[in-house]
Amino acid sequence: MPLTLLAAIFALTAAVSWGSGDFANGVASRRIGAFHALLLSLSIGLLAMIALVVASKEPLPALTDIFWGVFGGLFGLTGFIFLMQGFVKGRMSIVAPVSAVLAPVVPVLISVLTLGLPRILQLAGFALALISIWMLSSGGANESKPSGIRYALLAGLGFGIFFTTLDQISEGVVFWPLLASRFVASSVLAAYILITRKPLIPTGSPWKVLLTAGVLDVGGNVFFLQAVQTGRLDIASVLVSLYPAVTVLLATLIVKESLNRSQIIGVVLAVTAIALITV
């Protein structure tokens, strides 16, 4: 199998995992709040990552790989916090697509500078993918609220740096850096919740949903790291940023949210973009 195709499969699998995990986290957030849902799903993911480290018997890597894991965890958490703040203080219909479109920008620029431009068809696929991300995340806007664009910009930047840091991890090293990433993100978020004098575990936590979210998020991290170690960072980052398609489809199938015309077009564009990028 060509490495480009294999990397694309890893990236799309990561998109499915992250998109499904975001849906599960969204369901949990409606019951216990976004920060508690994220903390508990991260903690469950931390336990899952410990199990993977033990089961894989992966040797302890160089400290630089651990550093990149910690660095990535901090920026991934920062991106998510700004995303949640944008949802609360701005319009989700603007914050979600802007952050998703901006997330691949940093990885794409880094890849172009270090590896050169990808092929013309792949560039066309990038363009279609970014348009599809915007359309998939579209929804009814609440004009009484500010756009929240600054939160979207910061969230997209955080996710973009997270993608880029994972690409710095040595080839063949997978679980230890991701364990470090998960540990630092969980610790920082737990400290924040304790400082705000809130309970770490709220009553009525939906544990089955949180377990699903935590495991899926770990799967997304592992598959994305495999993608960037197998192929180009820009291709992996653009494809994984299609995760809103999964979240939208699950919301349609499970909670019966209807797709609007823009989202239907976005699904078609996403499929077309995948074909162009992986051809």
Residue range 71-80: mean pLDDT, rounded = 91
Domain positions in the chain are: 3-278
**pLDDT tens string 4-52:** 889 999 999 999 999 898 888 878 887 888 889 889 999 999 999 999 9
Tell me the torsion sign for CA atoms 193, 198, 200, 204.
negative
Percent of the chain whose predicted confidence (pLDDT) is above 70: 90
pLDDT digits (tens, 9 = 90+) for 244-268: 778 777 877 886 666 678 777 877 8
State residue 25 phi and psi, 5-degree precision. Answer: -65, -35
Q: Is 235 helix (H, G, I), strand (E, B) or coil?
A: helix
Q: Distance between CA atoms of 221 and 242, rounded to whole angstroms? A: 15
CB atoms near residue 4 (< 10 Å) = 18
- With a CB cutoff of 8 Å and minimum separation 6, the contacts of 8 are 227, 231, 235, 236, 239, 274, 277, 278
Q: How confident is the model at residue 195 (pLDDT cuts 50, 70, 90)?
A: very high
59-78: string of b/e by CB count within 10 Å (b at 16+)? eebeeebbebbbbbbbbbbb
The pair of structure tokens assigned to 72 is 């990535």
In this structure, what token pair is assigned to residue 71? Answer: 């660095």
